[in-house]
């Protein structure tokens, strides 16, 4: 019997920003790619904190590696838990400039795009699995309105394009998480072959975060997220 082909997981993180020396999301992407995972092939990419550059580099990485799963990571310094995001909104409204010096306020990401796009990952199951392992985790409604949100919105748009207008309906446990419940919000394209979503991680002690949120502990949490996504695909 031919052994099953392992899925490919693309994990992205960001470079440091705001004067910080490190960004745990980028460190996690590098570490996970170096150490691997028994249930998948992991590819890691560190992206610039740039409204204009990050989406294009994400698209290039997806084209290059053809992943089955994409987990975008970002830093949420004001949070104390790992937070899978439910939706990305069609808005850039940042209190600070990105690393290119671009300061966007009250600007649409895509002038003719949907108001929001829903994650194509089982966010509730991910949060529960991480929390059950003793690591603080909870579902977050929105990825905000900075570069993290812009990247999530662009990534979900890529997933929509890959499905195409003629895709047949599919069903999975992630559908309940992703289903749009209000008019004007675009839900996921049914049967999307690319599972993609965003997870924010809290600040590590090096950045003044909770002493328990070490990089090792955050890595353990993201590994649990990866395992949960793969298990939900089965």
Q: Is residue 95 a part of any domain in this protein?
A: yes
Question: In the annotation, is 40 catalytic?
Answer: no
Question: Is the model's pLDDT at 190 over the cut of 70?
Answer: no
| Per-residue pLDDT reduced to its tens digit, 110-152 | 999 999 999 999 999 999 999 999 999 999 999 999 999 999 9
Whether the predicted model's global pTM rises above the 0.75 cut: yes
Total tally of structural domains belonging to the chain? 1
Question: In the annotation, is 85 catalytic?
Answer: yes
Mean pLDDT along residues 89-97 = 96
CATH number at residue 64: 3.40.630.20
Q: Is residue 111 a part of any domain in this protein?
A: yes
Give the whole-angstrom CA distance, residue 49 versus residue 98: 6
pLDDT number for residue 166: 42
Q: What sign does the CA torsion over 208, 79, 25, 60 have?
A: negative
Q: Structure tokens of 55? A: 């989406």
Give the whole-angstrom CA distance, residue 173 versus residue 132: 19
Choose among 161, 221, 195: nearest CA to 71.
Answer: 195
| Per-residue pLDDT reduced to its tens digit, 43-66 | 999 999 999 999 999 999 999 999
Give the whole-angstrom CA distance, residue 17 versus residue 23: 7
Choosing from 37, 40, 45, 148, which is the catalytic residue? 148
Look at 46-60, 175-189, 219-233 and tell me which has the smallest mean pLDDT: 175-189
Give the Cβ contact number of residue 48 at 10 Å.
17
Question: Is the model's pLDDT at 175 over the cut of 70?
Answer: no
Q: Could you list the residue range(s) of the whole structural domain that residue 97 is in?
A: 8-233
- Spell out a b/e string for 9-46, using b for 16 or more CB atoms within 10 Å of the CB, else e: bbbbbbbbbeeeeebbbbbbbebbbeeebeebbbbbbb
Question: Is the model's pLDDT at 1 over the cut of 80?
Answer: no
3-state secondary structure of 29: helix
Q: Is residue 100 a part of any domain in this protein?
A: yes
Choosing from 85, 128, 212, 232, which is the catalytic residue? 85
> Is residue 3 very low, low, confident or very high in pLDDT (cuts 50, 70, 90)?
low
**Beta strand ranges found along the chain (DSSP E):** 8-14, 41-47, 69-75, 83-89, 116-118, 140-142, 195-201
Question: Is the model's pLDDT at 163 over the cut of 90?
Answer: no
pLDDT number for residue 64: 97
Choosing from 40, 160, 200, 217, which is the catalytic residue? 200
Question: In the annotation, is 148 catalytic?
Answer: yes
pLDDT number for residue 233: 87
3-state secondary structure of 71: strand
Q: Is residue 34 a part of any domain in this protein?
A: yes
- The CA-to-CA distance between both ends of the chain, in Å, stands at 18
Mean pLDDT along residues 201-212 = 95
Mean pLDDT along residues 29-41 = 97
Q: Is residue 113 a part of any domain in this protein?
A: yes
Q: Is residue 3 a part of any domain in this protein?
A: no
Q: How far is CA 131 from the centre of its chain?
A: 18
């Amino acid at each position: 019997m031919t052994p099953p082909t392992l899925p490919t997981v693309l994990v992205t993180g960001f470079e440091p920003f705001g004067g910080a020396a490190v960004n745990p999301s980028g460190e996690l992407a590098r570490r996970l790619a170096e150490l691997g995972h028994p249930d998948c092939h992991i590819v890691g990419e560190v992206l610039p904190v740039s409204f204009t550059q990050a989406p294009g580099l994400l698209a290039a990485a997806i084209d290059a590696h053809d992943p089955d799963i994409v987990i975008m990571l970002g830093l949420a310094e004001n949070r104390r838990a790992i937070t899978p995001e439910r939706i990305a909104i069609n808005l850039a409204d940042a209190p600070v400039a990105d690393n290119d010096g671009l300061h966007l306020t009250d600007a649409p990401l895509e002038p003719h795009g949907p108001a929001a796009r829903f994650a194509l990952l089982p966010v509730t199951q991910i949060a529960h699995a991480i929390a059950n392992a003793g690591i603080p985790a909870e579902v977050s409604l929105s990825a905000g309105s900075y570069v993290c949100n812009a990247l999530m919105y662009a990534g979900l748009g890529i997933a929509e394009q890959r499905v195409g207008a003629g895709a047949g309906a599919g069903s999975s446990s992630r559908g309940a998480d992703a289903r749009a419940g209000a008019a004007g919000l675009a839900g996921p394209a049914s049967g999307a072959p690319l599972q993609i979503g965003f997870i924010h991680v809290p600040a590590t002690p090096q950045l003044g975060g909770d002493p328990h949120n070490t990089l090792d502990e955050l890595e353990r949490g993201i590994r649990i997220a990866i395992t949960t996504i793969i298990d939900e695909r089965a």
